[in-house]
Structure 1
Amino acid sequence: MRTRLTAFTRDGFHFDVVDSGPIDGPVVVALHGFPQTASSLAELAALLGARGYRTVAPDQRGYSPGARPRARSAYRMAELVADVVALIRELGRGPVHLVGHDWGAMVAWSLAARHPDLVRTLVTISVPHPGAFARSLVTGDQLFRSFYMGLFQIPVLPERLLTSRPAVLDRALATTGMAPDVLARVHREIVATGALPTALNWYRALLVPGNRVLSAPLVPVPVTHVWSSGDTALSRRGAELTGRFVTGDYRLAVVEGASHWLPDERPDELAEIVAARIASVPA
């Protein structure tokens, strides 16, 4: 008899997991982004559960209380991917359907590129393939949109400012379209629990020597990339370039009039997109 997975461990770190939907259903592994936890995917998971899918969503490295190393080198892409590989192997269910939003999408891209045997289908939300993102930095306005990544490289100051002055964090996220109830969840789950400094390490690891964030190989599995027209952080250019880095069946889904926070804002549409991608491959 299968049992729910509430946690898994890797290299001495303990990761919390939310496991929902029919226990015997096809498995969807869903990866959250910054600055959120698996709760940001709860509505999407419920909608997928109603369609017969089991969704397993971990609180990733830096977010789970038992998995918050302080060194930025601990947040290299190879480590982030290895965490999810360990989760998939813990499930023991063969290749999974993989969904990722924001930084979770970046991890999903790298995992599908380097471990295609573990991924049956891939849906990435907001963040394009790393190669497409890199090209969009020099062929569009993505560099301007990503200015905050440079600010996050400053040690200590960003988390102190955002923690001591909640209104600064609220204004920054509200300008990207984050709703007030979602902002409140960020304060409860990220700021109040002390996860903000280690969550910021995902950005600070970008400058760690040898961290191959923007060099993922071509992705051979079936992929749907989702981009929203109101996303202030990610440009259309990256979304348009992504198909060049996928050798499997590829679809681009554009959600009009939505912000960057699609799992919170448009879970119904995302569930349809995920279900359609899963249905595109033989059971």
Structure 2
Amino acid sequence: MIQYSDEAKQSFIQYLQTEKNYSSLTVEHYIHDLDHFFEFLNREGVGHIKETDDLLARGYLVSLHEQSYSRASVSRKISSLKTFFSFLNRENPEFVNPMTYVIHPKKEGRLPHFFYENEMEQLFLACSGDDPLSKRNKALLELLYATGIRVTECTGIQLKDLDLTIGTALIKGKGSKERYVPFGHFAEKALRDYIEHARGTLMKDEHSFLFVNHRGTPLTARGVRHILTKLVEQTALTHSIHPHMLRHTFATHMLNSGADLRTVQELLGHAHLSSTQLYTHVTKEHLKKTYQSFHPRA
């Protein structure tokens, strides 16, 4: 087995948590990518991490291609390894970073999927019941669509983070960065109804998280995916859903309605404007399809 001490691993984890200020989920992904790389080195008979050179690094990329990893997954693994080897080089300047000249693959040109407004109406109708779970599902759906927050941000919201009087929520985003996001009347009404008439019924043990599952414990990201999948099954929609589609939908609808890019960037919590600019391609594609569908000489 390759020599890689638990001490070095723990030091790297501490570096990611304290100096890079990464979330626990991001750290978990980094360590998963690192373990996957070391499995490759073990298969290649490498006995010590210092034996890793650029030839082995490129061999690893070839193995990822042979295993049909997506470009996004390959790019993430490259980022994880570059960060790890840079950390080792910082701790020991004599250590050569074998990932220095490895280039990220070009991103796939896929545009994010989103719901049209009539499709969103179908989803809202699917959770219009009076039982506690329907009230929770409607509040969840309204909040995700109203704010464009990430699912992990949504499940992390506590009651004290909400201000229903002015319609804002304090969101703890990536890297523990905080931002306030506004929400409108529909979300405010659904949240009030859920908190006042459903949350207490669902609760089993006392905790302060906003959203509760059917067992009374805090709702997880996996739970949100399950809820949204069930809502789609109750509609006439034919495509599958993932929670990020509501984030895509929020951004696309905002830009289609005339919101400026900087505002949408701030609401989404994007560190770089380039991440938000992806949605301008979606809106342009939407405009093009609409034009081609309705203009007599398109």
TM-score range normalised by the length of the shorter chain: under 0.3
TM-score under structure 2 length normalisation: 0.26
TM-score under structure 1 length normalisation: 0.27
Higher strand share: 1
> Which is bigger in relative contact order (C-alpha 8 A, separation at least 6)?
1
Larger Rg belongs to: 2
